Structure formats: C-alpha cells, structure tokens
Chain A
Amino acid sequence: MKLSQPVLPVTQPVSLRLRLLESQSVATTLRLLRNGKGAFGAAILLVFVIMAAVGPQLAPYDPIELHLEDQLAPPSAQYWFGADELGRDILSRILYGAGISLQAGLLAVVLAAVVGVATGVLAGYMGGWFDGLIMRIWDTLLAFPAIFLAIGIVSILGPGQLNAVLAVAVINMPTFARLVRATTLSVRNKDFVLAARATGASDRRIMFRTILPNCMAALMVQIAIAVPTAILIEATLAYLGLGSQPPEPSWGNMLQSAQGYLYQAPTYGIFPGLAITLMVIGMNYLADGLQDAIDPRRQRARAKMS
C-alpha cells in the first residue's frame, strides 16, 4: 500500500491549516460516499451500528433468558434463528452481540492508535536511546504471529472481554507506532518545523500541533484497515474461550458452543458466523473506499487505464 503524500500544504500557518483540514475532511467524506465501495461499506456499518444501538430494544427475548424446554430448537416462528443449548433465543443474542463486537474492535484499535501514535511521535522526534528502546520493544512484539501474542496476553490477564480488547490493542500498537514514527522522521527536518522551533515553540506543541496533523490521513486509513481485523481476532479469542464471559452473547463464543452441537442443531453454527462475516465485509469495503477517497491518485490511475 503506497502511503499518500501529506494532504496538507506544509508551509502555511496553523489556523489556516486547521481550516483546510476541516474542509479536507468534508471533501474526503464526500469522495468516500460517492465511491461505490465506500458507500456500500458505510451502509453496512450503519446497519450494524443501528443494530448495536437499537437491537436490544427490538430483540424478541432477553438474550440471557433461559427456556430449557426449547433446548436446541430449530428455527421457527417462535425463535427465528432457533434456540441454543440453554433455550436462549439466538436472534436476540446476535442482536446484542453486534454492540459487543463493534465496541471491541473500535476500542481495541483506538487504544492501539493512541498508544502507538504517542510512542511513535516521541520516538521519531526525540530519537536517541528512547527511540531505540521503544522501537526495539515494538519490533519484538512484531516477531510473534498475532494470534499467539493475543492468546498469551489474555492468558496473563485472565479471560474476559476487556482483556481481549487489551490484547488486540497491544497487537496493533507496533504498526501505528512505526507508521507515525516514519512520518515524523520525514517531516522532522522540514522548514516549517525548524521555523516553529526557532520561534520558541515547545517540543510538545511542535509534536502534536505541527507534526501530528501530517499523519492524519495515513492514520485514518490504518485505523479503518485495523478495525475489521481486530473484530476477527476478538471473535477468534472468544471462540477459544478467552473472550467475553458467560452469559454475555458474544458471536465468537456462540460459535464455540455451536460447534459442540453441529449434528443436533446445524443452523446454530451458521448465524453468528454470518453476522461476523457481514460486519467485517462492510468494514473492509469502508476501508477500501476511505483509501480511495483519501488518495485520489488511485482513482486517477484507474482512469488512465481505461
């Protein structure tokens, strides 16, 4: 993936740049929505956001309410998606699970972004031993396949939704840190930064108000890419029994249970997975659209071809 050039002209005063940033965002959003993929993705995401927000009200049953006599019931008028091993309505649990998955994915990535960005900017700007140490830590983490690291972290912290989110966040931190550090390094010695320093601006001000805005575009894209993967990893952890605790309805958890009853209740294993797939497809399309919107060169390249 080619990183775009900074989208802001870098030689102009702060206030003007902030206003340009705003209008740039607006322009980007419009481009995003005009793009077919982006619109499709945004639409799907919207559906799930609504599901997360309003689903609990719409759900026909309380997701933790047991109906033991309807254990593993097949889909019917009473239970549209069937019932699970304790007679709980699968549809209701899926509706509630939307919020859990979305939250997990977003929270994990935002957390990763915050920590990654902070350390990346500091490392790139300060350099020296701090840079070496921090990046060495991140590089060590990158030497592990993500899933092993995630399982390991949850093992230390104990199973649970929050700890799964933390684990997914930690896996993503190195990428954000490297991204921001690279941009910081390339921008650090540019004129406008030197000028800012000459006028006596504090390091902190320089880092966060001058350098950081340059990373924004790439950051946004990285976040959009990371969220769907985060949702998948969190679902995987839940599937392995390391995610949210019973009786909370997490989609990954539901699949873990479903696998034990494939012969008795085949449809049990279908719906939670379908939900995860749809949510991730939507987010992927959104990420694609966002990339295209932010980096119009990709669109132009396409135009050249035909």
Chain B
Amino acid sequence: MSNKKNTTISRRSFLQLSAMAGVGLAAAACAPATAPSTTTTAGTTPAAAGAPTAGGILKYAETGEFNHFGPWQMGNVNTAMYNQVFGRLIWKDGEGTEHGDMAESWEMAEDGLSFTVKMYENIQWHDGQPCTAADFVTMYGYTKDEALSGESSVQKTANLMKPVIDVVAVDDYTIQFVFEKPVPYITEILDYFWAIRIDDKADPAFMTTLPVGTGPFKITEWVPNQYTKYVRNETYHHEGLPLIDEWVFNRLEKSETLLPNLEAEGVDGIFGPPLSDIARIQQDDRFWLEINSSAGSIFNIIVNTKLPPLDKKEVRQALSYSLNREAMVQSAFFGIAAPITTPFWNPTSLAYREDLVMAHPFDLDKAASLLAEAGVTDLVLDINVTSRWPQMKLFTLIWQADLAKIGVTLNVQEVENARFYEIGGAGDLLGISLHPWLNGRTSRDPAIFLGTQTNYRGDPTLNIYGWENAELEEIVAAGAVELDLETRRALYQRANEILVDELPMIQVATDPRVWVWAKKVQGPYIDLVGNLTLDQASITS
C-alpha cells in the first residue's frame, strides 16, 4: 500500500479546481454582495494576526435550542457543536481541499471498488476509551440496526452510505469501505461520517446522557434553554490543539438580541443576526464578519407540477422570469445573498455553468409572452409563508406586486410553522400552487446533492411532488459511478441544464450563514459542510 494520497481527482484537475476556487475567492473579495463562497469583511482576515495565544474562554451565542446532540442529525440549530465535539476521518475545507482529522492517509483502489483509510493510532474517545477501526464498523452497523431504524439521524446517514456495501476493519487502525460500483465522491460522504458512539440505543439523540466524541472539545454541561459548555480535550490527538480552554455556547431567545449582546460584550461571537442589522455591523470596527455559503442553503420555490397550468414548463419559466431577484436580494435579504436560477451556483461544483447561474434575468415582458404562448390568462396562484423565515414573506410580497403588473394574481398567506411544514411535506402541496422552501448541500458533489435533495429528482417514486424526467435519472445513475472527472462534469452540467429549463423547483437566492466575531477572536473557520470549527480559534487580549 503506497503512502501517497490517492484521491479520485487527478492532480491536473485538482489544480484546476483550486484555481477556480481561488478565482472565486478573489472575486468574492472584490464583490462581497454577490460572492458565492467565503467572504470575510471589515478588516483583517482571521489568520493574519500573528502567533495565536493559548487559553481563555470563548463565549458564543445563537438562537434556537438543542433537540439533538448527534452530528448525524445534520439539523439546523445543532450544527455549531459538531466539529467541536466530534471528529471525522477526512474532511474538506471551504475551498474543497481534503484534510485528515482522524485519518493519517487514504487511498482509492485501482478498480474503484474500495477505499482504504489508515487512522491515527493515538485517538481516544472523551471517556478515555481508545478509538479504533472497529468503532467505524460499529457505526456502519448502526445504519443497518433494527433498533435504530426509527431514528432520523441514523436514517440520514444510512441514506448517504447507501453506495457503501460494507465497512471492514482490516486491522486495528485500517478501515476499508467496500462498494459494488465505484463511488468517486466517497470523501464527500465521509465528510458527514462523524465518529459517534450510541451507547444507549434508547437515547440516540444523547438527550439524557451527553455524547462522547473524538473532537477537540468535550461537552460537559447542558442547561436547557440556556447554554452548553465545552472544555478542552486534553487527550486530543492533534498536538497543541485546541487553543482555547473552554467554549460556552449560549442560547438566546430572539435573533434581534444577538448583536446587542455582542456589542455589550456579553459574548465574543454570534451566529445568525437579523439580516437587516448586518449593514450596521459592517461599519463597526470592533467586529469582523464571516458571510459563508459553504453550507449551500438556498431559497427556492416548490412548484406544484401536477396542478395545471403549472404542468407546462413555459408557465414555470414565466414565473422564473417574473422574479426580480436582484431587488429581492437587496430588500428581502438586505444585500446578504446572491440571486440564482440554478441550484449549482457554486463554481467549485462539477455541475457549474456560468451561463446558468442567472439564466432568467428579471423580465416581465418575457414572462407575459411566455404565459401567452402557453395560452394562460388570468392566472391565480397561492403561496404560504411562515414567520420562521421572514425573508420569504418579504420576497413573496415583492413578487406579488410584480406579478400583478402582468395580470397574475398571487395570494400570499401567512401560516404557522407546523402548517408550513405540513404543506411542504404533502406531495400535492394540499392543492396549493407554490410553496417556498429551502434546500441544502448545493456546494457538495452533485451525486450527494441529487442523492439527498429528492425534490430535484425526476423519479416519481423519490420526488414526492411527482415530477418526472427520465434523462435526469439516467444522469444521476451514471454520474454516481463514473470515475472519469470530465465525463462526470459533462453529465452533471447537462443535469444543470435540465433543471434550469424544466424548473420543477424555481431558485430564488442563496441563504448565506453569517457569523460576527469580536476583533479579539481569531481563527474560527467554516468547513465545506458549512459548520463552524474552533480548534484553531484563539482569543487575543
């Protein structure tokens, strides 16, 4: 077994990707409002401050409350603690570069039917037990375990791990992932495969007993609705890390209070302030911002393709042309978002095509003529919004005003959260024409995106809204097992074309994640999954 790191990407392609990412970053630095990738603003970048000092307590705040401590849940409000408490074999940073956390080296077999990873040998779980290859076999076993078949976090991972037919411990520190057909994107799957131990099958969410992991911090205390505390893992297998002694993660009730708390120095960093506050903070020298879209969350609209006349793609295209995305980004998103017409907006994606990012510029005349072509007059549409995402309410009202100009009536109704999810979860949208929604993982390998975001699929047994497209399904099947990069790229770019032409989902804008830090905090960064990582964070005095 050679020690050379053998990934599925040839060196040439890797350089190409890095170059593109670099260009993307440079472009981002020049044009913050439309940047698709990581952007830091208001002064120095995190790494520039010289030698970081060790020690200190970092205080941090978000809204929302933990309802699950397992990283496999990949839930919205819980993600901030994943990379702190749990480790992964291999992970990708915001530019797409692979790093080994628990893995010393890794290699894809020549025939592409297995992937071997060599672990570090000094890794311990937080309770002192050694972490070995057997633990990963156990984890794989969770995805097949009857007792855990009802647990959503395990099901999500099971879904991601579908192409893996077996996980074998070749020896104590060598793991082999076995496939039936090649899995070119295995490292992206492993990006989600955090190392966990479900010691109590009745508590897979770790609500009664806090979880153990192999990450830089141990979770030591949870006071519900108030805070969680994490202390440095003294036996962390990466020497010298983490830098800080303790991390306190506070829960605040309302997002409007995040910035006031930061400004009053009650906390040193926050996540998710109201977008309308961001312009104010960008002017303030005491703080720096991280506006990051790696998580790839986007705002889109589910179209009820079974409901005439929305079954005609001309009508759906007309609706796309009638969205004044630029204005919405400025008003509904306060400038913090990028307008998009495709889910593959990130230049690092294999499916990326520059001409498709904004394929439908705002054009009411074009929209009107498309509607006329389709023989549609006096169109009446409904859409529901909820207070959980105020941007939705704002952009649908802007859309309502614009649609009225071409004789289309859009009725907007505000409903409670539970009702909103009920509508989105119903295949016929309960008879409603349109439904705003969010999808994620748009920065990931398209195989993962299409494997998890089933509302973009053309197989009616997977896509609950019933949209059918046989060509897309062939692409999905072929791209998942194709080892040649360029062939894959061509396949996924064609998928991109199809999705933008057919529009079973109408894209609106990206949904960047925003962190605000006090100047004295240096070193936090965001990985490609979009999660916060604090192992190199430090507090200067």
Contact = CB atoms under 8 A, between A and B. Distances in A.
Interface of A: 64-66, 68, 71-72, 85-87, 155, 158-160, 241-242, 245-247, 259-264
Contacts of A72: 276
A245 B414 contact: yes
B130 interface: no
Contacts of A85: 276, 331, 394
Interface in B385-423: 385, 387, 390, 393-394, 397-398, 400-401, 412-416, 419
A241 B414 contact: yes
Contacts of A66: 397-398, 401
Q: Which range holds the interface residue count of chain B?
A: 20 to 34
B151 interface: no
A17 B225 CA distance: 65
Contacts of A71: 331
A159 B397 contact: no
B45 interface: no
A117 to B, nearest CB: 33
14 contacts: A64-B401, A65-B401, A66-B398, A68-B327, A86-B331, A160-B413, A245-B412, A245-B413, A246-B385, A246-B397, A247-B412, A260-B274, A263-B259, A263-B260
Interface in B251-310: 256, 259-260, 274, 276-277, 280
B415 to A, nearest CB: 6
B44 interface: no
Contacts of A64: 401
Given A85-B394, A86-B398, A246-B397, A68 B330 contact: yes
Q: Would you list the 9 A-B pairs with minimal beta carbon distance, nearest first?
A: A68-B331, A66-B401, A245-B413, A246-B412, A241-B387, A68-B327, A264-B276, A247-B397, A71-B331
A159 B412 contact: no
B277 to A, nearest CB: 7
A86 B387 contact: no
Contacts of B393: 246
A86 B414 contact: no
B337 to A, nearest CB: 15
Contacts of A245: 412-414
Contact of A262 (B256, B394, B415): B256
Interface string B17-54: 00000000000000000000000000000000000000
A264 B416 contact: no
A87 B394 CA distance: 11
A158 B415 contact: yes
A28 to B, nearest CB: 43
Chain B interface mostly: helix
A261 B276 CA distance: 7
Contacts of B387: 241
Contacts of A242: 416
Question: Which residue of A71, A87, A155, A160 has the most chain B CB atoms within 10 A of its CB atom?
Answer: A71
Contact of A241 (B259, B277, B400, B416): B416
Interface of B: 256, 259-260, 274, 276-277, 280, 327, 330-331, 385, 387, 390, 393-394, 397-398, 400-401, 412-416, 419
Contacts of A259: 256
A241 B386 CA distance: 9
Nearest to B412: A246
A159 to B, nearest CB: 6
Contacts of A261: 276
Given A68-B330, A262-B256, A264-B277, A86 B415 contact: no
Contacts of B416: 155, 159, 241-242
Nearest to B330: A68
Nearest to A65: B401
Nearest to A66: B401
A64 B400 CA distance: 10
A159 B414 contact: yes
A66 B414 CA distance: 19
B402 to A, nearest CB: 9
Contacts of A158: 415, 419
Contact of A264 (B260, B280, B401): B280
A158 B416 CA distance: 9
Contacts of B414: 159, 241, 245-246
A93 to B, nearest CB: 13
A159 B390 contact: no
B256 A263 contact: yes
A64 B413 CA distance: 15
B400 A260 contact: no
Contact of B415 (A68, A87, A159, A263): A159
A260 B401 CA distance: 22
A263 B277 CA distance: 8
B333 to A, nearest CB: 12
Given A66-B401, A245-B413, A264-B277, 20 more contacts: A64-B401, A68-B331, A68-B398, A72-B276, A85-B276, A85-B331, A86-B331, A86-B398, A155-B416, A159-B414, A159-B416, A160-B413, A241-B387, A241-B414, A241-B416, A246-B413, A260-B256, A260-B276, A260-B390, A263-B277
A71 B260 CA distance: 22
B277 A86 contact: no
B413 A159 contact: yes
A66 to B, nearest CB: 5
Nearest to B255: A260
B274 to A, nearest CB: 6
Given A155-B416, A158-B415, A247-B400, A263 B394 contact: no
